[in-house]
Amino acid sequence: MADRPLSPHLSIWKWGPHMTVSILHRVSGDGMAIVGLGVLGWWLGALASGPDAYATFSDHASSWYGIAVLIGLTWAFFNHASSGIRHFVLDTGAGYDLDTNRTYSWVSIASGVLLTAIVWLYIIVERGI
């Protein structure tokens, strides 16, 4: 049994931004699927149930924890989209050398954060939240 080759494990790989982007892509996709569908379902249910149910949803959505969830979902969307664009570029055969891949990874992470900040600054300025 000891002569069998061992499969690589995280402990032997040097951590890099491409690994972070891969994990964040999975986390953001799962977050949108689980949390996003829950919020969407609650919003649609409240919308169909009348003004009192919608007011309850709106109160929770505009509270500090509701805004935190919505900001998290916004980040998940932009992070997942940025990472998806990065993967699309990689699928064309471009960007496989380490320096370019590292740069694309950092751009993917930064663009998710930056786009989220821009959207929420707009919401705060326009809506006065």
Tell me the pLDDT tens digit for each residue of 10-31.
667 778 899 999 999 999 999 9
pTM of the predicted protein model:
0.86
Q: Which residues are annotated as a binding site?
A: 80
Question: What single string gives the DSSP state of each residue in 12-36?
Answer: GSPP-HHHHHHHHHHHHHHHIIIII
pLDDT tens per residue across span 58-85: 999 999 999 999 999 999 999 999 999 9
Q: Which residues are annotated as a binding site for heme?
A: 80
Q: Spell out the CATH class of 16-127.
A: mainly alpha
**Greatest pairwise CA separation for the chain in angstroms:** 69
